[in-house]
Amino acid sequence: MGVKLGILGLGTVGTGTVQLLQDSAGRHPLLQEIEIYRVGVRSLDKPRAVELSTEVLTTDLESIVNDPAVDIVVEVMGGLEPARSLILKALSNGKHVVTANKAAIARFGAEIFTTANQAGVYVMLEAAVGGGIPVIQPLKQSLSVNRIHTVTGIVNGTTNYILTRMQTEGSNFDDVLADAQRLGYAEADPTADVDGLDAADKIAILASLGFGGRINLQDVYTEGIRQVSKTDIAYAEKLGFVIKLLAIAKRDTPSSPLSVRVHPTLVPQAHPLASINGVYNAILVEGEPIGQVMFFGPGAGAGATASAVTSDILNLVAVLKTNTAVANPLLTCGHQEYCQIAPMAELITRFYARFLTNDQPGVIGKLGTCFGNYGVSLESIVQTGFQGELAEIVVVTHDVREGNFRQALAEIRDLEAIESIPSLLRVL
Ligand SMILES: NC(=O)C1=CN([C@@H]2O[C@H](COP(=O)(O)OP(=O)(O)OC[C@H]3O[C@@H](n4cnc5c(N)ncnc54)[C@H](OP(=O)(O)O)[C@@H]3O)[C@@H](O)[C@H]2O)C=CC1
Ligand SMILES: N[C@@H](CC=O)C(=O)O
Ligand code: NA
């Protein structure tokens, strides 16, 4: 007897998944065991890129998760509600769930995994981070014996696509965002991409897997790419960097708190993450004894994401076929404790800052004095040119405690010669 899927959503990812399932020749033979039994959508009148019989399509998503015939629910509708309630209902009804919904997992992971464990079913989420890149399963299984100390990722395809085109073509933010939406990379509300929220959801999930505890999403420091200007991209390039939206989870020692953050970052051009362009994502995992391992691939888009969703489905088909009664601890999530997260003021990092100043003698000296007062040592300080009447000064610091740097900036803002500080970015 075939394994029956109830798919919630037939947008970019749902359509890619149905296409993959309907084109099984030459792929894994287990695909032939799968039946697309029901597909839930919002509108029955929308034209669809896939052919499905009228009995399969429905707008009644509750009926899918309550249908005793459905073995696996594939949630690719996105959003928080009704996705959360439908996932919980499916799990309570004893169905395994595959989801691509990082927003729901990052917020409701605790109740979702608790419900799954109680019901003795699995929640699979490979597509939720890094699109098609296998990273969830490797962290859960292949790397699980390592002591992870750092996870650094480019985990949002839309913003990497935007930053790459701004850098290589000097394109306008709004035009490139519209292209990312047209290509199916962006979230239904692209604010989630642009403001770093999607990357925050993803690093919360990766940190939880890598560091073995729950992450409170409110503790994840989040900055998006709206303030990244063409001017900074050009200065960064001159200084030997590219600007990337990085998601970072790091623990200095096994007993110290975690730092979990998302922000645009100047990445040295020789760093492996500097050459990850367009919709591609990469996740660099560092631990002991593995050293460094990097996962790279397409981070968004129909085909790539469908690959991850369908591989999760296939794993569950294998579970159902072998009738494994005991929950596999390498597939379940049993975290109970929350990780302790370090405040940003304690972060040790380098900074890049751009100042617009009145063209007076001694401004550079005054900046240097203020930084010196708080123990901020400078790697470089250059007057790069003029913007109208105002002189432009770019500073790169050595490693500094973020709290000290902010105190120095507060003093600098009060200097009469300082007109504004248009950019402030961290440096990897
Ligand atoms: N796009 C991508 O590259 C990636 C997306 N994801 C995640 O995958 C999920 C889906 O994304 P994507 O495919 O891009 O989203 P889309 O907006 O393209 O598709 C959403 C689908 O869900 C249906 N839907 C949404 N809300 C409801 C509702 N309340 N009732 C019934 N049907 C509903 C829509 O129906 P209708 O068609 O009738 O409007 C549509 O078919 C999201 O969680 C996203 O974060 C993860 C990795 C990559
Ligand atoms: N909007 C997301 C889609 C994949 O998760 C992105 O751009 O990365
Ligand atoms: Na993935």
Name the band, by pLDDT with cuts 50, 70 and 90, for residue 335.
confident
162 alpha carbon – ligand 2 mean position (Å): 12
Pocket flag, ligand 2, residue 260 (CB < 6 Å): no
Q: Give the residue, out of 58, 77, 99, with the most ligand 1 atoms within 8 A of its beta carbon, to mutate for a pocket test.
A: 77
- How far does the centroid of ligand 1 lie from the alpha carbon of residue 78, in Å? 5
pLDDT tens-digit map of 209-223: 999 999 999 999 999
User: Are 97 and 165 part of one and the same domain?
Assistant: no
Q: Is residue 104 part of a domain?
A: yes
Same domain, 180 and 285: yes
124 and 146 belong to one structural domain: no
Look at ligand 1, atom 19, and give the residue with the nearest C-alpha.
11
Nearest of 159, 11, 2 to residue 83 by alpha carbon: 11
If asked whether residues 123 and 151 sit together in one domain, one would say: no
CB 13 within 8 A of CB 100: yes
124 token code pair: 């699979």
Q: Under the phi-then-psi rule, with left for phi > 0, alpha for psi from -120 to 50, and beta for the rest, what region is 94?
A: left
pLDDT digits (tens, 9 = 90+) for 196-212: 999 999 999 999 999 99
Q: For residues 93 and 105, state if they share a domain.
A: yes
Q: Do 211 and 272 have their domain in common?
A: yes
How far apart CA 22 and CA 388 sit, in angstroms, is 60
| Of the residues 271, 287, 322, the one at which a domain ends | 322
> How buried is residue 238: exposed, middle or buried, by Cβ count under 10 Å (0-12/13-18/19+)?
exposed
pLDDT in tens, 252-263: 888 899 999 999
Work out how many domains the chain is built from and give that number: 3
CATH number at residue 10: 3.40.50.720
Residue 349 in contact with ligand 2 by CB distance below 6 A:
no
Report the pLDDT value the prediction gives residue 260, as an integer from 0 to 100: 98
Q: Taking all residues of the chain, what is their mean pLDDT, rounded to a whole number?
A: 95
Is pTM, for the whole model, over 0.90?
A: yes
Residue identifier of the C-alpha nearest atom 39 of ligand 1: 42
Q: How many CB atoms lie within 10 A of CB 210?
A: 27
Residues 125 and 155 in one domain: no
CA of 106 to the centre of ligand 2 (A): 14
**What is the distance in A from the centroid of ligand 2 to the CA of 180?**
10
- The answer, yes or no, to whether ipTM is higher than 0.90 is yes
Give per-residue pLDDT as tens, 65-122. Answer: 999 999 999 999 999 999 999 999 999 999 999 999 999 999 999 999 999 999 999 9
> 202 an active-site residue?
yes
Owning domain of residue 364 = 347-427
Catalytic site residue from 102, 140, 202, 244: 202
Using the predicted structure, report yes or no on whether residue 248 has a pLDDT greater than 90.
Answer: yes
Q: 179 and 70 in one domain?
A: no
Q: Are 143 and 276 in a shared domain?
A: yes
- CA 391 to chain centroid: 37
pLDDT beyond 90 at 360: no
